[in-house]
Amino acid sequence: MLRIAVIILLFVFAAVLFKFRSNEKVQKSVIYTSVAGLVIYVAYVMISELIR
């Protein structure tokens, strides 16, 4: 549950960065980190369910 909360916080952080038009490099890195975290979380959940 903590992982999904962190991923949601990253997406909120990305939205704030876009709203205030921060550095494009920072925006891209936050988006990439958020998407990668979401993909890793989904893969982790799927694999753990398959093992059970």
CB 14 within 8 A of CB 30: yes
Predicted local confidence at residue 14, as pLDDT: 76
| Full-model pTM | 0.63
Q: Is the predicted pLDDT of residue 1 greater than 70, yes or no?
A: no
Of the candidates 6, 26, 4, the one whose C-alpha atom is nearest the C-alpha of residue 16 is: 26
Domain boundaries, the chain: 1-51
Higher per-residue pLDDT: 46 or 28:
46
Q: Is the predicted pLDDT of residue 46 greater than 80, yes or no?
A: yes
CB 19 within 8 A of CB 30: no
- How confident is the model over 5-35, as pLDDT tens digits? 777 777 787 777 777 776 777 777 777 887 8
Predicted local confidence at residue 27, as pLDDT: 73
